[in-house]
Amino acid sequence: MITQLIERGGDLSERAQVCVIGSGGGGAVVAAEIASAGHDVVVLEQGHYWTKANFTQREDQMLPRLFEEAGMRQTSDGAIQILQGRNIGGSTVHNLCYSFRTPDPILAMWREEHALPDLTPEALRPSFERVEKNLKVKQILEQQVNALNRRIRAGAEKLGYSGLVTKHNREGCIESGYCILGCSYDAKQSMLVTYVPRADAAGARIYANARSDRIEIGPGRTKTVTGSVVDQSGRAMGRVTVEAPIVVLAAGAINSPDLWLRSGLPNPHGEVGRNLHLHPSAMVAGFFDEPIDAYRGIPQSYYVDEFIDLDRDPRSGYVLMPIAGFPVLTAASLPGFGREHARQMRDFAKLGGLLVLLHDRSAGRVEPGSSPGRPKITYTLEPDDRRLLAEGLLHSSEVLFAGGAERCLVPFTPDALVLRSGDDLNTITKRGVREGEIVLNSTHPQSTLRMGGDPKRSVVGAFGESHEVPGLFVADMSVFPTSLGAPPQITTAALADRTAHHVLDRWTELAG
């Protein structure tokens, strides 16, 4: 059953065999797999239970309703905006459905450098297969590639750059283009319409508006999760208490370490909250000679992978991804102010973006902030990443021009660099990117409760279980040992599936 606690009213007090915190890309998978095996699962989700009927396709309503900190989450210096979902289904309700397995060279690095010898493609295959089947992952069809993606592909091909039309997890997509604001047609195969209903049908008790604020250990195997019934603004309306021998933390890579540290859980080597990778991205805006209505159709279907070679260097590189925003998100991503900014926005229908997404070496940190769920996030781009970002901005402009753009806006602040077709693009790399000078976004925070075989360099072991607290698991993007360098939803779900099946294999020991 899915219960909206603010509508029901009162406090929540429960006992279960498993308590899962967070219902997104990792949590929903664990809840569904364990509940489907006949076990007693409670899910606590801080956000509301919104369904397709609530997705109005309006940014002014959806951004504050569906996103963490009303869409305003940022690093503490304000340099990077971080978008994460805050609702049943988590960020999968907003994601753009690129579906990639974990790249083999990344798995090899995790095996060799993070003491995870069993993390082979073969060992993960059953998890990938289950996840891809449940999320209905399939190839995007040629006729589903929209005008912007076609132009980007034409540009990349003209320049001889490698790229591909990707796989996605959509079924019956009518190509409305509103994916980020939630799919009004239940076509996007997010956790909301896949694993959450599976968990529900298998008897899991799923509570929306239930924010977990603390995890306490003991006595014995018992763990007590306490928290608050919260409304949309995070205001506490009642108390939450759940006792369970198995707790699975899946609150995302910002909130999970925040909750861990706030709870005073063991952190003997200071690893909790460190190693934050953001896959930071910056958008070059291309203005074409005619309206392309880039926001219509499947937003991202093409993917330029020319500038990432994980076999050669699994630690760095960048990819280019088409992006079209709605007016508010676009306005926030475009640099500049006042009249000049308004002038750019008047050409909205001619505008199509190309994101540079960094496979970042830079590592930041999450620490508890002034209140639960509002952690302090610090992150600075290292010089090598800044150099790659400048190079990526050059190549994004190059691809946009080759695809037919007449003018490109490179997002330097306060004054954007405006380039016209035929201009010398080396201006970008000559100028370079100084700290805080480029408008950056992140939709993939990761690695803050790293998985690894060495307890001095990681927080959880090979199956997501805490090195220090038996029966406490992590199953979200926090567990990635390094930056992934690829879209993360399938890796997140597959590792969560692996954790769930490991829990089932050790059921009597863990829950008995």
Ligand X SMILES: Cc1cc2nc3c(=O)[nH]c(=O)nc-3n(C[C@H](O)[C@H](O)[C@H](O)COP(=O)(O)OP(=O)(O)OC[C@H]3O[C@@H](n4cnc5c(N)ncnc54)[C@H](O)[C@@H]3O)c2cc1C
Nearest-approach distance from CB 466 to ligand SF4, in angstroms: 36
Number of H helices, E strands in the chain: 14, 23
- Range in contact with ligand SF4 (rule: CB under 6 A) among 138-146, 177-185, 241-249, 500-508: 177-185
The pattern of x and - marking residues 260 through 299 that bind ligand SF4 according to CB under 6 A reads: --------------------------------------x-
Residues 113 and 300: their CA atoms lie apart, in Å, by: 33
Q: How far is the CB of 275 from ligand SF4 (least distance, A)?
A: 32
75 binds, among ligand SF4, ligand X, none (CB under 5 to 8 A by kind): none
- Do the bridges between strand 205-208 and strand 2-4 make them parallel or antiparallel, or are there none, so unpaired? parallel
Residue 193 interacts with ligand SF4 (CB under 6 A): yes or no = no
The verdict on 94 binding ligand SF4 (CB under 6 A) reads: no
Give least dist CB 390 to ligand SF4, A.
32
Smallest separation (angstroms) from ligand X to the CB of 90: 3
Q: Which of 107, 116, 187, 253 binds ligand SF4 (CB under 6 A)?
A: 187
Look at the alpha carbons of 282, 288, 290, 296 in this order and tell me if their dihedral is positive or negative. Answer: negative
Shortest separation between residue 427's beta carbon and ligand X, angstroms: 31
Question: By rule CB under 6 A, what count of residues binds ligand SF4?
Answer: 13
Biggest alpha carbon distance in the chain?
Answer: 70
Dihedral sign computed on CA atoms, order 84, 89, 95, 97: positive
Helix boundaries (H) for 69-146: 104-113, 121-134
Residue 178 as a binder of ligand SF4 (CB under 6 A): the answer is yes
Residue 122 CA to residue 137 CA, distance in Å, equals: 19
Write down the least CB distance from residue 31 to ligand X, Å.
11
Half-sphere exposure of 296 (CA within 13 A, CB side): 7
Neighbour count for residue 420 (Cβ, 10 Å): 11
Regarding 173 and contact with ligand SF4 (CB under 6 A), the answer is: yes
Contacts of 72 (CB under 8 A, 6+ apart): 81
The Cα 139–Cα 156 span in angstroms is 20
Residue 211: name its binding partner from ligand X, ligand SF4, none (Cβ under 5 to 8 Å by kind). Answer: ligand X
Q: Within its chain, how far is the Cα of 242 from the centroid? A: 27
b (16+ CB within 10 A) / e for 122-149: eebeebbebbbebbbbeebeeebbbbbb
188 binds ligand SF4 (CB under 6 A): yes
Window contacting ligand SF4 (CB under 6 A); options: 183-191, 255-263, 264-272, 478-486: 183-191
Helix (H) / strand (E) element for 396: namely helix 383-402
Token pair, residue 160, equals 């001889």
Choose between 29 and 390: whose C-beta lies nearer to ligand X. 29
- From 169-177, 274-282, 447-455, 467-475, span contacting ligand SF4 (CB under 6 A): 169-177
Closer CB to ligand X, residue 25 or residue 273?
A: 25
Which stretches of the chain bind ligand X, using CB under 6 A?
A: 21-27, 44-47, 83-87, 90-92, 94-98, 180, 211-212, 250-253, 255, 259, 373, 443-444, 476-477, 487-489, 492
Residue selected from 175, 367, 391, 437 as contacting ligand SF4 according to rule CB under 6 A:
175
Structure tokens at 322: 């088409």
The nearer residue to ligand X, 69 or 423, going by C-beta atoms, is: 69
Q: Which does 26 bind (CB under 5 to 8 A by kind): ligand X, ligand SF4, none?
A: ligand X
Q: Which C-beta is closer to ligand X: that of 215 or that of 285?
A: 215
Q: Which stretch binds ligand SF4 (CB under 6 A): 17-25, 132-140, 181-189, 261-269?
A: 181-189
Direct distance between the N- and C-terminal alpha carbons of the chain, in angstroms, rounded to an integer? 24
For tokens 């956000």, name the residue.
47
212 binds, among ligand SF4, ligand X, none (CB under 5 to 8 A by kind): ligand X
Dihedral sign of CA atoms 486, 488, 493, 498 in order = positive
Q: How far is CA 408 from the centre of its chain?
A: 27
- The tokens describing 67, both together, are 């996103």
- 10 Å CB burial of residue 112 (0-12, 13-18, 19+) is exposed
| Cβ at position 339, least distance to ligand X in Å | 30
Cβ at position 71, least distance to ligand SF4 in Å: 18
Residues contributing to the site for ligand SF4 (CB under 6 A): 170, 173-179, 183, 185, 187-188, 298
